[in-house]
Structure formats: structure tokens, C-alpha cells
Amino acid sequence: MSTTDAYAGTNETTEGRVFTVTGQDWDAISQGLAEEAEERVVVNMGPQHPSTHGVLRLILELEGETVTEARCGIGYLHTGIEKNMEFRTWTQGVTFCTRMDYLSPFFNEATYVLGVERLLDIEHDVPEKAQVMRVLLMELNRISSHLVAIATGGMEIGALTVMTMGFRERELVLDLFELITGLRMNHAFIRPGGVAQDLPVGALEEIRSFVALMKKRIPEYAALCNANPIFKARLEGVGHLDLEGCTALGLTGPVLRATGYPWDLRKTQPYSGYEDYEFDVQTWDTADAYGRFRVRLAEMWESLRIVEQAADRLAGLEGAPVMVADKKIGWPSQLSIGSDGMGNSLDHIKHIMGESMEALIHHFKLVTEGFRVPAGQAYVPVESPRGELGAHVVSDGGTRPFRVHFRDPSFHNLQATSVMSEGGQVADVIVAIASIDPVMGGVDR
Amino acid sequence: MSDDKSPEKRAPEQSPENVPAPTGQVGQVGVRTGMFGVSGTGDTSGYGGLVSAVTFPAPVQRPYGGWFDEVADALEAGTRAAGVEHALGDVVVHRGEITFHVRREDLVAVVKVLRDDPALRFEFCAGVSGVHYPEDTGREFHVVYHLGSMTWNRRIRLEVTAPDSDPHVPSVTGVYPAADWHERETWDMYGVVFDGHTALTRILMPDDWPGHPQRKDYPLGGIPVEYKGGSVPPPDQRRSYN
């Protein structure tokens, strides 16, 4: 307890005393509280607190150990991405939105790009290989995102082994991303009209060996957690929200599927050719944090199935185009790996600099000015690891988005914090929020 | 989202060039000027002071195609039963998505019918997003609701407008509790007041922030970027192709 903390402000408040908790000071606090002779305490948890999943601020009203009111304070990671996108071209927009929900960058890119493609009316012209690569990357991303959800969820209840395991496997997925896109995060790889470039040599073998490895590793999570009495004691019955509650609050994703309702946009409103893959929608029937954990674990299996099918299809699509044939939309630059890293391919440079003035003009216009998108609005949601992620894309016919609004599932689902944690213990608030798996980059955008 | 592709087929007629004059209110929302990018005139020199109107897809007449008509019929019958006459304004079908324009005073009655009518059952409000059209005089703010029906596996969009001088829209949180944060965000970013919202406070920006950042007239470049004496103008004052 400190009264001279520079950041704590005054101790004179309208309602009761202010304690600044810095650790090692529980005796002083309990003594101070005993003097107050009031049971009700308001606790600010966060925004800098390791168990609140990023810069989430929780305002908890406690009576003893019981939470009587829980409210979220968000906005600490607001970076104005939506506004920024209005001053960049349609293609550059991908670079911004990939940074929103930083654990599922490919989903941010995909929903935005699908909206732009619908406005351009080229949905059916996107080449098959680009569609399959999108699905492949999204499903790998779903695995890595669920791994982080399980890992951090375990860490927050003290199961550090779960965390080290989760991050160990996630690293393998990020290695695949690095191999395919060149970056571990913030890829900007899915572009209007297709994807940025073709699969590199040897990627399919790496993906196959990853799938084989994960088939051994995922059962380790099941063996460690599924019937673990401590794990179950912390998770079962915590953060309960049944189907009626989920529908009223519009929750989607693993939270909804843990109530037993098989709602998955990949099945109900397929996009990017998901109707061509064999997989099952995973559900659980307990509507609690344990059920959400089991749904995520099972979904990683399903994602592995889809990755395998996508890899098989890609094996037969070698050399196929990955960008729409319309030269007025497709990115003109052809990338290749040189001795100093990745850059424009020498063939392309030779063509625009030495052979064709028109090609140079075309390259310059498309890269600097971009393409025009017909006026209108579109909303194409995708099933992100956290639920329905959608981009409301509005164009006024210009080369830049007039307005892009992201319906982020973390933002939406966090509204359930109150109903999930009120009436429970303080420690269960952490479990309830971890079971929603919010990513603050997506919440605050 | 519709299996029936007939709305798609009509898209060319709806594209701005082919519409002789907007039939409904969804007309011109701005003017594009500049050297390039103005289509529809014979002048390609770039020096003619090119001007073209910015028009959004025009409203359509029945039949809308596919299940769109079923939804429109049920919505009209339901709102009439609820005592709201002519709740539906323009209907826009574009790229296989349907948008119903609703008068703002009827909004709550309309969403209640949309949620509760067994033939509609739009039980899922995906989100609320604001759009600012500074040149759409008298209807500067558009508030867009993305609704989904899990029962019927359908999606529609509602659009409500409010003038800049009176930026008020009734809150739908009584019908869709999950619209709570979305409406707060729209207030925060656009300054649209949702009447009836229980706690309409800022959500992403700090509580004491002046102005509403995503409005098109919000001044940019609050922090001057300088480099060796030269300064970088804010993005909306730079030369652009738009």
C-alpha cells in the first residue's frame, strides 16, 4: 500500500479510500480495509496485468471474494486502423488490417479482401490456387491462434507447462508462415484478386511434416488436460453461458459452439471454397470454459484435416496462377528471391525498364494510384478462431476505401464478461475471459 | 449469400453509368473532381476540370429475387401489424446483398419485427457501423446494421440516416443487447447519439477526447511531421489520385 505513488492520484475520492497495490502489501491492505468496515471493494484489474489478456482493464466490484459487478474498459490499444485505411489504396489496406487481431492476421486480410472482391465483382474469377492457399493459411492460422488461446489460458491458471507446449507448437506454424509469406506476423499476403505470391519450393513437404508432427503433439494436450482434476476444477462450470445467453448477446465462435449449437460460417455460409473440404463442426454441451477448451482442441484436429486436403490439392496445382487474370487489378510486380533477399524479379524489372514503356506506366499507375472499386457496400464475414469476423467495406468508386468497419469477434464477445463472471470468484473472472479469448489488437483496432 | 443469382444479373443496370437518374433518395452523395479517374466524358486530356457525380447503387423495384422477396413481404406485413405504415424506404440489391433503408423513427419497431417474426427471425445483430457522407445533404450520417438469421441462414442490412444538424438515431439495444458496444463505438467515432442507450459513453477514445475522429471533416495532422525544415501535410491535404 502506498500513498505516494505518482500514478495513483489523490486518495481523496467521493467513494471510499484508494489503495495502490504493488505486491507484498496484503497485511497493510487488509488492515486498511478492516478500518473501513465496509465489505464492498472496487478493484481495477489492468490494463497492465498479465492475466487480463493484453491491455484489458477490468473494473470489478467485490464483496469479499465474490464479484458482484464486472465491467470492461477497452480502448488502450486503439490505433485508428480504420481511419488510416481511408487514406491508402485498396491493396495497401491489407497491410493495415492484418495488424488488427494479431493472432489471426490471415482472417483479417481475408474478410477485407473478400469484401473488396465482391464489390469488384471478381469473386468467381479468383484463381483456384489462390483460394486453396487462402484456406491453407487460414487453417494453419486457426491452429496457431487456438494454441495461443490454450497456452495463455493455461498460463493464467498457473499451468505453465501448457503454455510452454502451446508456444512450442505455435512456433512451428509461424515458421511455416515465414516460409510461405516471408513474415511471421503482419503478412499482408492475401490481396484483392488472389495472394501475393506462389508457394515457395519445398513448402508442401514442410506442411506435410508439420501435420504429421501435430498429429503426435495434439494428443499430448488431451493427455495433459482433458481429465486433469486441477484443470477441470478450475474450468468446469466457470464462465457459464448457455445458448439463450449466447443468442441474446450475439456471441459466435467456440463460445457458441460449446453450447452445442453447430454454427460455423465455413459450413453455413461457405466462402473461399470451404464447401469442397471435408471437416466437421465441433461442439460441446457444457457451455462453460472447459467446453470452450475442448472445442478449440477438437477444432485444431479439423484444421489439420483441412490443411491436409489443401496440401493435396496444391500438389496438383503447381505453376497455376495465384492472382486474378485482370491486369487492371492484379498486382503487377513479380517477386523472387535474390542473393540479397526477396524483391522484384529481375525478369519483371527487365520488362518494365527495358522492353515496354506501357508496362512501366501500368506498373506505376497500379502501384501508386491503385485500382478503382465500383461504389457500393459489402459485408462478407468469415469464421475466425474467435467467431464471426466481418468487414463492412464501403466504396465511393475511388481508389481508396471510403469506409471500412471491422466487426471483430473479440470486441463483440467481450460484452459477455459481465454475465460470465458476476456472482463468481475473482479468480474465475480470469478463466471466463481466457475462455472468450479476446485479442486486444482486434478489440481496439 | 443467395443461391439464386438473379440479383447478380441485374448489377450492370444498377451500375452508376447506366442509371439515367436516381429514382429514390439513394442518389448522388458527392462529386469527384480531378485530372484522372473521371469516366463518362469524352475528355481524356486531363485539363478540362473533370467532374463526375458519385452515385451509389440505385434502389430497385420488385421482384428483388430469391428469398429477398419473402423477407420483404414478411417485413411489410409484420410492420403493418405493429402499426407502422411504410416502414420500408428504398431497397437496394447489389452484389447479392440486400439493404433496406428504414426511417429512423421506425427503426426499433422494424428490428423488433425482424427479430420476433417467425418468418424473419433475424436473431443475430452482427454489428453497427457508421458511415459519414459529408455531401449527402440532410442525411450525412448513415448507420448500418448487419443482421443475420441463424434459423433461415440469411443476412440483410438495414440503413438509417440522420442529418448532421440532428444526429439522433434510436437505440436498438432493447432488442439486440449486443448492439451496446457497437453503438458506443459509433457515437465515439461519429457523434451519432443513440437515443435510449443506457450508457452512451466513449469506448475506444479517451473519455475527454475532443471531437469524433472518423468523421470526414475531423481535422487530421494534429502532430506536425517535420524533416529538415520541410513539413509533411496531413493525409487529407496531400496530393492524391482520388
DSSP B152-204: TTEEEEEEEEE-TTS-EEE--TTT-TTHHHHHHHHHHHH--EEET-TT---SS
Position A136 in a domain: yes
Q: Is residue B150 part of a domain?
A: yes
Helix A160-181 / helix A203-221 crossing angle, nearest 10 deg: 170
Name which of A412, A134, A163, A162 is nearest A274 in CA terms.
A134
A264 near B CB under 8 A? no
Cβ within 8 Å of residue A388, ≥6 positions away: A252, A253, A265, A381, A382, A407, A409, A412, B126
User: Could you tell me if residue B111 is inside a domain?
Assistant: yes
If 0-12 CB within 10 Å is exposed, 13-18 middle and 19+ buried, where does residue B100 land? buried
Q: Which residue of B has its CA nearest to A82?
A: B214
In the numeric block, the cell 507447462 is attached to A161
Q: Which stretch of A186-190, A228-232, B83-87 has the lowest confidence by average pLDDT?
A: B83-87
DSSP state of A352: I
Name the residue of chain A whose CA is nearest to B235's CA: A87
CA B196 to chain centre: 21
| CA dist B182 → A15, A419, B143 (Å) | 30, 18, 11
| pLDDT confidence of residue B186 | 94
Q: How confident is the model at residue B36 (pLDDT cuts 50, 70, 90)?
A: low
Q: How many domains does one find in chain A? A: 1
Cβ–Cβ contact A82 with B under 8 A: yes
The whole-number pLDDT of residue B167 equals: 92
Question: What are the two backbone dihedrals, phi and then psi, of residue A422, each rounded to the nearest 5 degrees?
Answer: -70, 135
Residues 6+ apart with CB under 8 A from A219: none
Query: Residues 116..145 of A with a Cβ closer than 8 Å to B: which?
Result: 118-119, 121
Lowest mean pLDDT: which of A326-335, A387-396, B25-34?
B25-34
Nearest to A204 by CA among A358, A291, A302, A315: A315
B38 belongs to a structural domain = no
Check pLDDT > 50 for residue A1.
no
Residues 208-227 of A with CB under 8 A from B: none
Give domain status of residue A59, yes or no.
Answer: no
Residue B35 binned pLDDT confidence (cut-offs 50, 70, 90): low
The CA distance from B70 to the nearest CA of chain A, in Å, is 19
Judging contacts by C-beta atoms under 8 Å, the chain A residues touching residue B146 are 379, 390, 392, 407
Suggest the residue from B147, B154, B242 to mutate for an interface test with chain A (most A CBs closer than 10 A).
B242
ipTM of the complex: 0.85
Mean pLDDT of A89-118: 93
Looking at chain A, the whole-number percentage of residues with pLDDT higher than 90 is 45
Which residue in chain B has the smallest CA separation from A367? B241
Distances in Å between the alpha carbon of A243 and those of A63, A108, A273, B72, B124?
A: 29, 27, 29, 28, 13
Instruction: Note whether B204 contacts A75, CB cutoff 8 Å.
Output: yes
Establish if A157 belongs to a structural domain. yes
Please judge whether B30 and A388 are an interchain contact, meaning their C-beta atoms are less than 8 angstroms apart: no
String of DSSP letters for B209-228: --S-TTSTTS---SS-EEET
Q: Does A376 touch chain B (CB under 8 A)?
A: yes
The enclosing domain of B141 has a CATH number of: 3.30.460.80
Å from B129 to nearest chain A CA?
A: 6
CB A287 within 8 A of CB A259: yes
When CB atoms are compared, the residue of A399, A405, A407 closest to B241 is A399
pLDDT at B21: 39
B167 touches chain A (CB under 8 A): no
Residue B82 falls inside a structural domain: yes
pLDDT digits (tens, 9 = 90+) for A376-385: 999 999 999 9
Most A CBs within 10 Å, among B115, B190, B203, to test the A interface: B203
**CATH number of the structural domain spanning residue A196:** 1.10.645.10
Q: Report the residue from B126, B130, B213 with minimal CB separation from A388.
A: B126
Predicted confidence at residue B129, as pLDDT, reads 92
- Higher local confidence (pLDDT), A80 or B26: A80
Average the pLDDT over B83-89 and give the result: 80
Higher pLDDT, B42 or A41: A41
User: What pLDDT is recorded for position A339?
Assistant: 74
Instruction: Answer yes or no: is pLDDT of B48 > 60.
Output: no
Using DSSP, state whether B145 is helix, strand or coil: strand
Q: Which of B 54-83 lie inside 8 A of A, CB atoms?
A: 54-57
Identify the pLDDT of residue B47: 55
Please state the domain count of chain B. 1
The sign of the dihedral angle between the CA atoms of A266, A268, A269, A275 is positive
Q: What per-residue confidence (pLDDT) applies to B159?
A: 92
**Amino acid B160: pLDDT:** 93
Per-residue pLDDT of B212-225, as tens digits, reads 999 988 888 656 66
Whether residue B167 is contained in a domain is answered as yes
Backbone Cα Rg of chain A: 24
B46 located within any domain: no
Q: Residues of A numbered 325-344 whose beta carbons fall under 8 angstroms of chain B's beta carbons: which are they? A: none
User: Is A415 within 8 Å of B54 when comparing Cβ atoms?
Assistant: no
Looking at residue A362, its pLDDT comes to 85
- Asked if residue A388 is part of any domain, the answer here is yes
B83 occurs within a structural domain: yes
Domain of residue B70: give its range: 57-195
B122: closest CA among B130, B114, B133?
B114
| Cβ of residue A379 closer than 8 Å to a chain B Cβ | yes
* Percent over 70 (pLDDT), chain B: 76
Is residue A134 over pLDDT 90? Answer: yes
Four-residue CA torsion sign, A333, A335, A340, A346: negative
Is residue A9 domain-resident? no
Whether residue B209 lies inside any domain: the answer is no
- Whether A435 contacts A287, CB under 8 Å: no
Q: Calculate mean pLDDT across residues B85-103.
A: 87
- What value does the mean pLDDT of chain A take? 87
Q: CB A379 to CB B57 under 8 A?
A: no
Work out the minimum CA distance from A118 to partner chain B, whole angstroms: 7
Asked if the model's pLDDT at residue B7 lies above 80, the reply is no
Burial A281-290 (b: 16+ CB within 10 A, else e): bbbbebbbbb
Weakest mean pLDDT among A426-435, B38-47, B179-188: B38-47
- Looking at residues A100-109, what average pLDDT do you find? 92
Contacts of A368 in chain B (CB under 8 A): 241
pLDDT confidence band for B38 (50 / 70 / 90): low
Determine contact, residues A257/A241, Cβ cutoff 8 Å.
Answer: no
What does DSSP assign to residue B35? S
pLDDT on residue B85: 79
Q: Are the beta carbons of A76 and A53 closer than 8 angstroms?
A: no
| pLDDT (0 to 100) of residue B49 | 59
A326 near A122, Cβ under 8 Å? yes
Nearest CA in chain B to A381: B126
Q: How many interchain CB pairs under 8 A, A with B?
A: 124
The range of the structural domain enclosing residue A192 comes to 81-330+371-444
Q: What is the mean pLDDT of chain B?
A: 79
According to DSSP, the residues that pair with A390 across neighbouring strands are A407
Q: Which residues contact B70 (CB under 8 A, 6 or more apart)?
A: B119
Cβ distance B127 to A375 less than 8 Å, yes or no, reads: no
